[in-house]
Structure 1
Amino acid sequence: MSTAKAYLTVRGIDIDVVYKDIKNLHIGVYPPMGRVRVAAPERFDDDQVRLAIIQRLSWIRRQRDKLRSAERQSEREMVTGESHFVWGLRRRLTVVERPGRAHLEIDASRLVLYTPVDTSTEKRRDYLDRWYRAQLRQAIPDLIAKWERELGVSVPQWTIRRMKTKWGSCNRETRHLWFNVELAKKHPDCLEYIVGHEMMHYFERHHGERFTALMDRHLPDWRQRRDLLNGAPLGHESWL
């Protein structure tokens, strides 16, 4: 399937356009900040795409407003009493200053940070970031193994990183997957949704009808998981 890309700005909104061999035009608005992407038939030109966007402009703006108005955490100061999300649950942070190696652990409903005295706020955030990454490194391999069996594919490499506009991504040529460290804050069902979603791109590059059919077949409740993911509070440091 041949494709060509274009970038349009319509009424102040930047639009990614992909022209390909399809019958109908599709418009998508994607989290976390409302990126707009259009898949258009090859027979369309930029003016036709622009007109289609204008006709759907009110819907596009509603979707973007919904995503951007999602609850966001205030900037974390890493002090006792503030809340942090871990696997979809809000936990109260307790900071314990004492000599020795810094580490975090779950204690009942609390998230406890053990840290040397006078550790800076930035360093405490770094400890938390490393801990979130460790949580994902423990959870992701089993999910990938499950989906490798489900889809009959193998994942040669995957990486956790901080991403500002995506929950995950897939390089179809190398089959390398990337996962946003923020996923450690979300419900485990959200992480499985992203793992399955990115691995589904091995079969279909774009989010068109074929991709939707694959998701429906292999993860029938993916829409509920997507809504759970996008309805959860967003981290201040990643999404603003």
Structure 2
Amino acid sequence: MRRSKTFAYESAIEATESDLKMYTSAVSNGRKKVTEGDDMQSKRRKCGKRREYAASHRLKNIVIGKFKMRAWYSSPYPDEYSRLATLHLCEFCLRCTGCMPTCRSHLLKCDLRHPPGREIYRRDNLSVFEVDGKLSVSYSQNVCLLAKLFLDHKTLYYDVEPFLFYVLTVNDNSGCHFVGYFSREKYNPLKYSLSCVMTLPCYQTRGYGRFLVDFNEPFVHFPIFLFLSNHSHVLG
């Protein structure tokens, strides 16, 4: 039987300068990746904390008239207002204020008791006002900011001049109270009629949303015939 050869182990091989450079480079790259991973984790934690902070400091409620409603989404109100837990709105001009006393003080001085446009429909205690975004910029922007609290997809806030706003109100002795609205582009070659429609949550399930959608239909087919009759006070 053949015996296997026995090899004598030689002494340890010394690393060359090239080997040392490769080793040093590999260690350096490994440390860099570990550091980058730590930085990424740190950034994710900071981003998560910012989201939590934004969510905890997001506007949660609005008070308009006698109603208090929970905001469904965020809206780009100025920072001093968007960080408040509750925002108080004038029920006529929709201007925002930070507290109830300020809102009441504003109401005493507010010039509006109905939307700043022409009344094109009236029946019983309901009215619809046509508001030109170019002529009533501030009011139209306030409408859009309010609507964004309840419409996730809404993107129009400040560029209101190309639009007409049709505001539905419920009326009493104190004035015309905002219920909801829809908007239309003034000049649209594609004939898109309805740009946006919204009813405040406190007035939902009463048929007002359906009313606004139906009210828009004559604009599509007979826009020239929309006016308020001097005799019947309804569309004619």
TM-score, length basis structure 1: 0.24
> Which structure's residues are more often strand, by fraction?
1
Quick check: which has more Rg, 1 or 2? Answer: 2
**Which structure is richer in relative contact order (CA contacts within 8 A, separation 6 or more)?**
1
TM-score scaled to structure 2, two decimals?
A: 0.24
